[in-house]
Structure 1
Amino acid sequence: MSAQLWKHAGGAEPGGWSPGESHGPEAPIHDRRRTAKVGLGVFLGVVTSLFLLFLLAFVARSQVSDWRPLTDPLAPLAHPWMLWVNTALLALGSASLQWAKVSIGRNQAGTATLAFLLGGGFAIAFLGGQLWVWQQFAAWGYFVSGNPANSFFYLLTGLHGLHLAGGLVAWGVVAQRLLRHGAMERLRTGMELCAFYWHYLLGLWLVLFALLTSTPETYQAIAAFCGLR
């Protein structure tokens, strides 16, 4: 009986634990966050391996005689201003999601929501810009089957766009909950993962952009370094 009265009074258990010190509800949240971050890390490791294989194939294929570079004076990527515009859009999207991540850490709900929505909007604009570049390639006669360099351009940009579109699905779920005035603490992990994923896709795009707009001499140097010649 005395033990029961002690519990109802809020006293500590003999081992030093008291009900007021319980962290039970928080543990599952931290576990879910850790699991989500590990899962995303594993997924990005697979994506990195996939793109690395494609990039090695790109460099190896560029050493064959039928390769016609897209950076020739009259080729579409001689002056890739369209891709520069798209790069700026993706960078703005990444910066906006980082802004959202910082704002949610400061409990600035309104700012975090605005920045998060802007991040997705810039990503959608980037995908639209990439589709416009594809249309320009087709209008100039640079079809998929016309040249191995064309095929790799469509493959690499399309695969990158596909991963960004998949990220937009997750972004849309979080954005919908934000607009429904969901609890910011529950959405913090989703916003942080979206920001990290956008940063990764920006870095990946910069690598693709640099490679796609490089000269044949650069491809030869990379092939020699990797032992592909």
Structure 2
Amino acid sequence: MSIFSKLGDKSWMTPGVVGEVRDRSRGDGPAAKTGLAFFMAVLTSMFFLFVVGYRMRMMQNDWVPVNDPGLLWVNTGLLVLASVAMQAAKRSVLDGKIRAVRIRLTIAGALSAGFLIGQLLAWTELRATGLYALQSPATAFFMLLTGLHALHLFGGMLVWCRATYRAWRGMEVKRIRLSVELCTTYWHYMLLVWLVFFTVLLMT
């Protein structure tokens, strides 16, 4: 075959090449999961340092513990249910049930929004006691830990919005599978982080 015929060959029209391109597009999954794992590893290091700082600050003589708002128990329950709903959405994606995916993603998002609203109410409840962050190190650390967690969960909600929008728009299940899987992993991670934070707060 001459060089001219090689140059004139429309390789993108060749079935084998098209299949190869499609296979490459599927490679986004491992890359995205690796990226998420790296991101969570960085977050874990940061959260760990804050927890260590919290425990060290507790040892100071001027530390006055605060009564954790009882609403935190309700918020914890909401986040647990949100994680369960997200896992159910992932299972529905694997089963190819788009209607169930839509409903379960929506439920997970609503529960997560309820958690964030509940955290705001918990801060308001704490401020009502007269303990402000500038006056009480314990209050400052409480708002720091809960605020950081809420901020990162809110970031996850942005990805959830995109996945949910695509699901309700009628996109094929296989095209939203990766987004749902990533959201599920992240939600489980944020639940674990919150359980650690909540335990640390309760112990003080």
In the superposition, the TM-score normalised over structure 2's length comes to: 0.89
In 2, the alpha carbon distance for the partners of 1:35 and 1:116 equals 23
Question: What is aligned with 1:186?
Answer: 175
Q: Secondary structure at the match of 1:24?
A: helix
Q: How does 1:48-197 map to 2 (within 5 A)?
A: 48-70=44-66, 76-77=67-68, 80-197=69-186
Spell out, residue by residue over 1:90-134, the C-alpha distance to the aligned partner (whole angstroms, 9 max, x if none): 011100000000011011111111101111111000000000000
Task: Give me the TM-score of the superposition, normalised by structure 1.
Answer: 0.80
The amino acid of 2:195's aligned partner reads: L
Q: 1:62 & 1:213 partners in 2: Cα distance?
A: 13
In 2, Cα distance between equivalents of 1:86 and 1:19 = 53
User: For residues 178 and 109 of structure 1, what CA distance do their matches in structure 2 show?
Assistant: 7
CA distance in 1, matches of 2:163, 2:127: 36
Residue 145 of structure 1: how far off its partner (Å): 1.2
8 Å Cα contact 2:149/2:194 also seen in 1? yes
Stretches of structure 2 lacking an aligned partner (at least 5 in a row): 1-13
Alignment partner of 1:35 is 2:24: no
Letter in structure 2 aligned against 1:117: T
**Which whole-Å CA distance do the structure 1 matches of 2:144 and 2:85 have between them?**
28
Distance in structure 2 (CA, Å) of the matches to 1:27 and 1:153 = 48
Question: 2 CA distance for matches of 1:141 and 1:196?
Answer: 38
Structure 2 residue matching 1:178: 3-state secondary structure? helix
For residues 129-175 of structure 1, the C-alpha deviation after alignment (integer angstroms, 9 at most, x for no partner) is 00000001111112111211111000000000000000001111111
1:25 shift after superposition: 4.3
The alignment partner of 2:115 has SS state of helix
Specify the code of the residue in structure 2 equivalent to 1:68: V
Runs of 4+ in structure 1 displaced over 6 angstroms?
Answer: none
Q: 1:20: how far off? A: 7.5
1:165-203 Cα offsets, whole Å, 9 max, x none, are 000011111111111111211110000000000000000
**Larger fraction in helix:** 2
Number of aligned positions between the proteins: 191
Superposition deviation, residue 19 in structure 1: 5.1
The answer to whether the 8 Å contact 2:159/2:183 transfers is yes
CA distance in 1, matches of 2:53, 2:164: 38
> Gapped runs of 5+ residues in structure 1?
1-17, 71-75, 216-229
Coordinate RMSD, CA, aligned: 1.6
Write the distance in 2 (CA, Å) between the matches of 1:133 and 1:82: 6
